[in-house]
Amino acid sequence: MSNVKIDGYQLFCLIVLFLFGTTIFLDIGSGAKQDAWILTLISPFAGLILFTIYYQLHKRFPTLPLTEYVRKIWGKFLGSIISYFYIIYFIYIASRVLRDIEEILINSAYYKTSITVVGICMMLTLIYTVNFGFEVFARVACICFLLIGLTLLIINIMFIITDLIHIENLKPILADGWKPIIKSLPLNVTVPYGELITLSMVFPYLNKQTKILKTGIMAVLFAGIYFTLNILLLICVLGTDVLSRSSFPALKAASFIDIAGFIQRLDSFVIILVVFLGFIKITMFFFCAVIGMNTLFKIKSSALSTYSIGVIILLASIMIAPSYQNHLDEGLEIVPYLLHIPLQIVIPLLLLLTVLIKGRIKNVIT
Amino acid sequence: MSGENHNHIIPLSENVEENIEKLEMALGKSDDLSIRRLNVSAKNVAIIHIEGIVDDQSINENVISPIIQLNKENHPFKSTKELADKIVQILSVASIEFIFNWSDLLENILAGDTVILVDDSPKAITLGTKKIQSRSITEPTTQTVIKGPKDSFTENISTNISLVRSRIQNAKLRLKLTKVGNVTKTDVGIMYIQGNADISIVNEVMSRLEKINIDSILEANYIEEAVRDNRKTLFPLMQSSERPDVVAANLLEGKIAIIIQGTPFVLILPVLLIQFFQSPEDYYENNAFSSFLRLIRIGSFLLNMYASAVYLALITHHQGLIPTTLMVTLMAQRERVPFPAIIELLLMELAFEVLREAGVRMPRAIGPAVSIVGALILGQAAVEAGFVSAAIVIIVATSAINSFTLPNTNIVNTARGLRFLLIFSSAFIGFYGILLLTLCILVHLCSLRSFGVPYVAPFAPFRMGAQKDSLIRFPITSINMNDTEGNKETKTK
């Protein structure tokens, strides 16, 4: 892991794809109804603030991952507990994303297949990837970015040429004022932007440290703009009513495409994208968990932690929720407030404050 | 083997007869060892070579007759050294060297040099009279083009080097010769262009060649398997070509060529995946047209790999994705077939592999027989008898035809291997299996390096400048040969 060669462009691809994750297929900003696009336009700026916090922390400890500098800042005992929590958090989120993919596949194509089989196949691929290390993963992301970008572009062009877009679905703008937007803002900042906390686990392993901030900002803004276009398209194609009722709006929208009775069932391409993007996202969390585990418990062989964490993620993905609805509810009502906000926002902010105050005190003494 | 190691410290005897006796012992009194004994100014002189690998005419005219002439002139030589010097002066042979020990003597004689031994002299004179019989330069058989040069490499290393040199008449073209193979002592040459090629890769290649510890080098693949980066891969990590124009073009791009005695295939490294889809003809035709053909080739490669697996996934797992009318046709065909789709497909795929192998091995005269048996009996009759469905025959034939578009056979074999893996994963869990295996292949590709250069180089890591000559080809004037493909990658390292 020590000398990883990743250039700015690769980091950009990685961050963008990671942000896309499963979010671009889900109904983001549903609370704001037809104004969801305003929400997705605002949230990247909140995301940038979070990214800057993570970057500022990294800048003070350029050679350490998050789980290590927590222990430097808050001492061995408290720090170890916090970093242990982070590892569990990464594993938990990985298994949540894995569950999302499993559910999408089972609901769309594999009605009779066991969720376990779908999960095992994915996990084998994930373990294979993680074993190759982060540099290879970054290159995979680079190629995936080209493939996924091209596919998304083609699908979006199809929406336009098949005359599925109904601009009137966007009206009325701000019918209920700014309140619903502000209310659902925290949820939209934590996922996906807050999940950039994973980057603070891999920052120390990148070789071009100077480019991180610029690349990160560009990637976050790019993702924000794409989210906005994406949600605009979905609202225009589906309307807020269908949008809020379907579990995978992007699938539903793509299935409307029909050109000359020949180009149809494009939702299968969307499923392919779901698997690719989900793969990138889980791998990222997986890496973070492995890095955290290796540094916290001083494990020498990466294979040991990779395999054990892989099995835990797989089992957890099946056991975390009895049904998909339950899984979604947890994701919307419990996880953001109990996990995302404390671990993505509160703790990093407190860490940064501690560091700043410590620095101030030191300055005063000397 | 241990005796050989001692030889190089054993100096030559000063007695000619002693040396000859020892040489005969070393070569097991080989019948093709020719020894001509002469007497010049009362000194014994012996001219030794092995028949068949030397230029007989040159030896007779340029070596033996001047020495006989010298004898007639009856010079009074004061010392042996003077005699030896005189002999060296009168010989009209281009390369003359002196050797002092046994191993060099043996090596030179076996390589086709002629050795002159003189009494009372501790050194032997070797003359470069090597002439190995080889076939003449013919049209390439594995990498044919419609338009472009029609010459190809032969089994003779010096002919091959000359074919490259004649294309690049530049002082910066470098050649390093070495011998590889404990028993065969095969000549292996490394060619590169100083300044274009990354010198660290050249050194790496040299050191890897020196580390090879196998008895024989009979074909390029012996070297390839011995020096490649990753042993556990289906993908070729070196390109082999029998076309001098391809080698010259690659040298100009900063690649390194390994030329091996005894094979018309020259290895090119470091190699990128995209290179296997580029034909030399791409540069001999209009760039728009050759870009189109390049895309066709990449499409063919993917079809060749995926056609069977995708068909299988559609027919067994995702019938819903097939348009209804097509579905009815397909199902009507499948109704008579007694096997499950996977067995049907594997039978046909294996039948094709057998046909292909038979096509390569059989004598030329019975060639048409195989095509009749293959096309009529296996194809038509099998469908009519209801063993397989017509759709399967079409799919297997399509993927087979597609494999022939690729200019390089190495990558075709990769696709053949991966095709079977994809069929199994598709049979197991349909498109999801194909997708995950594709991801694994992608990860594997990204992990590969050919002599330190990432295998998928112009795409990951992404190089904008190199895109001018990767998927499509820009006009030659706009491609700067020096920063195409992975070359830039190699240089920044």
| C-alpha span between A166 and A175 (Å, rounded) | 18
| C-alpha span between A300 and B66 (Å, rounded) | 75
Question: Are residue B299 and residue B201 in the same domain, yes or no?
Answer: no
Nearest CA in chain A to B455: A139
Nearest CA in chain A to B326: A262
Sorting pLDDT into bands at 50, 70 and 90, what band is B6? Answer: low
pLDDT score at A3 = 58
Chain A interface includes B343 (CB < 8 A): no
A122 contacts in chain B (CB < 8 Å): 436
A279 contacts in chain B (CB < 8 Å): 439
Question: Are residue B255 and residue B165 in the same domain, yes or no?
Answer: yes
Residues above pLDDT 70, as percent of chain B: 96
Give the closest residue to A42 by CA, choosing from A173, A193, A248: A193
pLDDT score at B326 = 87
Q: Which of B239, B269, B299 is the last residue of a domain?
A: B269
The secondary element (H helix, E strand) that includes residue A306 is: helix A302-319
- How do residues B111-137 score in pLDDT, each as one tens digit? 888 888 888 877 888 888 888 777 888
Mutate which of A130, A140, A263, A274 to test chain B, going by most B C-beta atoms within 10 A?
Answer: A140
Question: Are residue B180 and residue B236 in the same domain, yes or no?
Answer: yes
Q: How much of chain B is in helix, strand and coil states, percent to nearest 5?
A: 55, 15, 30
Residues 6+ apart with CB under 8 A from B482: B196, B253, B254
Contact A23, A188 (CB under 8 A): no
Return the residue matching tokens 């037809």.
Answer: A34
pLDDT score at A279 = 94
Give the closest residue to A232 by CA, choosing from A169, A143, A139: A169
- Strands B186-193, B239-241: pairing kind: unpaired
Query: Which residues does residue B462 pair with via DSSP β-bridges, in sequence order?
Result: B459
Residues 6+ apart with CB under 8 A from A331: A96
Question: Are residue B292 and residue B254 in the same domain, yes or no?
Answer: no
CB contact under 8 A, A139 and B461: yes
| C-alpha span between B321 and A265 (Å, rounded) | 7
Q: How much of chain A is in helix, strand and coil states, percent to nearest 5?
A: 80, 0, 20
pLDDT score at B301 = 94
Chain A interface includes B430 (CB < 8 A): yes
Chain A interface includes B461 (CB < 8 A): yes
Sorting pLDDT into bands at 50, 70 and 90, what band is B485? Answer: very low
B318 contacts in chain A (CB < 8 Å): 109, 268
Q: Which of B321, B443, B459 sits opposite A132 (nearest CB)?
A: B443
Q: How far is B370 from chain A (nearest CA, A)?
A: 39
Q: How far is B117 from chain A (nearest CA, A)?
A: 59
| C-alpha span between A29 and A32 (Å, rounded) | 6
Question: Are residue B321 and residue B442 in the same domain, yes or no?
Answer: yes
- How do residues B354-398 score in pLDDT, each as one tens digit? 888 888 888 878 777 777 777 777 778 888 888 888 899 899 989
Q: Which of A125, A139, A275 sits opposite B454 (nearest CB)?
A: A139
The secondary element (H helix, E strand) that includes residue B69 is: helix B65-73
Give domain limits for chain A.
8-365
Q: How far is A121 from chain B (nearest CA, A)?
A: 8
Contact B204, B192 (CB under 8 A): no
Q: Residues of A near B (CB-CB distance < 8 A)?
A: 7, 9-10, 105, 109-110, 113, 117-118, 121-122, 124-125, 128-129, 132, 136-137, 139-140, 142-144, 146, 261-262, 264-265, 268, 271-272, 275-276, 279
- Tell me the residue length of chain B: 493
pLDDT score at B67 = 84
Nearest CA in chain A to B447: A136
Question: Are residue B217 and residue B101 in the same domain, yes or no?
Answer: no
| C-alpha span between B380 and B385 (Å, rounded) | 9
Q: How far is B322 from chain A (nearest CA, A)?
A: 9
Q: Indicate whether B132 belongs to any domain.
A: no
Q: How far is A322 from chain B (nearest CA, A)?
A: 24
Q: How far is A108 from chain B (nearest CA, A)?
A: 11
Residues 6+ apart with CB under 8 A from B340: B316
CB contact under 8 A, B454 and A128: no
Q: Which of B323, B439, B446 sits opposite A279 (nearest CB)?
A: B439
* Residue A119, token pair as written in the block: 């999960």
Query: Inter-axis angle of helices A115-131 and A134-161, to 10 degrees?
Result: 130
Counting the structural domains of chain B, the total is 3
pLDDT score at B84 = 79
Q: How far is B328 from chain A (nearest CA, A)?
A: 16
Question: Are residue B259 and residue B290 in the same domain, yes or no?
Answer: no
Q: Does domain A8-365 have CATH number 3.40.50.2300?
A: no
* Residue B212, token pair as written in the block: 């090879």
Ranges in chain A, pLDDT < 70: 1-3, 27, 29-32
Range of the domain at B174: 157-269
| C-alpha span between B165 and B191 (Å, rounded) | 10
Tell me: pLDDT of B481 over 70: no
Q: Which of A9, A125, A265 sits opposite B436 (nearest CB)?
A: A125
B306 contacts in chain A (CB < 8 Å): none
Contact B205, B267 (CB under 8 A): no
Q: Indicate whether B209 belongs to any domain.
A: yes
Residues 6+ apart with CB under 8 A from B463: B457, B483, B488, B489
| Residue B237: HSE in the Cβ half-sphere, 13 Å Cα cutoff | 23
What φ, ψ does residue B99 adopt, rounded to 5°? -130, 155
| C-alpha span between A259 and B158 (Å, rounded) | 61
Q: What is the mean pLDDT of residues B209-217?
A: 89
pLDDT score at B124 = 85
- Alpha helices by DSSP H, listed for B76-131, are 80-90, 102-111
Question: Are residue B333 and residue B401 in the same domain, yes or no?
Answer: yes
- Alpha helices by DSSP H, listed for A109-166, are 115-131, 134-161
A144 contacts in chain B (CB < 8 Å): 442
CB contact under 8 A, B429 and A139: no
Say what the ipTM of the complex is: 0.92
Sorting pLDDT into bands at 50, 70 and 90, what band is B7? Answer: low
Torsion sign across C-alpha atoms B170, B171, B174, B177:
positive
* First-residue to last-residue Cα distance in chain B: 41
Q: How far is A143 from chain B (nearest CA, A)?
A: 6
- Strands B173-180, B239-241: pairing kind: unpaired
Question: Are residue B250 and residue B345 in the same domain, yes or no?
Answer: no
Q: Which of A122, A128, A272 sits opposite B443 (nearest CB)?
A: A128
B430 contacts in chain A (CB < 8 Å): 109-110
CB contact under 8 A, B461 and A143: no
Contact B388, B217 (CB under 8 A): no
Q: Strand ranges (DSSP E) for B159-246?
A: 173-180, 186-193, 239-241
- Strands B239-241, B266-269: pairing kind: antiparallel
For residue A106, what is the DSSP state? H
Tell me: pLDDT of B4 over 50: no
| C-alpha span between A298 and A310 (Å, rounded) | 18
Question: Are residue B292 and residue B435 in the same domain, yes or no?
Answer: yes
| A91 Cα distance to chain centroid | 13
Sorting pLDDT into bands at 50, 70 and 90, what band is B11? Answer: confident
Tell me: pLDDT of B493 over 60: no
Question: Are residue B357 and residue B395 in the same domain, yes or no?
Answer: yes
Mutate which of B272, B439, B455 to test chain A, going by most A C-beta atoms within 10 A?
Answer: B439
Q: How many CB pairs under 8 A join A and B?
A: 81
- How do residues B282-340 score in pLDDT, each as one tens digit? 888 888 999 999 999 999 999 999 999 999 999 998 888 888 888 898 888 888 888 88
Please provide the DSSP assignment of B148-176 as one string: S------S-HHHHHHHHHHH---TTEEEE
Question: Max CA-CA distance within chain B?
Answer: 105
Query: Inter-axis angle of helices B390-403 and B341-361, to 10 degrees?
Result: 40
Question: Are residue B168 and residue B261 in the same domain, yes or no?
Answer: yes
Q: What is the mean pLDDT of residues B445-458?
A: 89
Q: How far is A274 from chain B (nearest CA, A)?
A: 11
- Strands B124-127, B266-269: pairing kind: unpaired
Residue type, B22: K
| C-alpha span between A36 and B133 (Å, rounded) | 80
Q: Which of A118, A129, A136 sits opposite B432 (nearest CB)?
A: A118
Sorting pLDDT into bands at 50, 70 and 90, what band is B487? Answer: very low
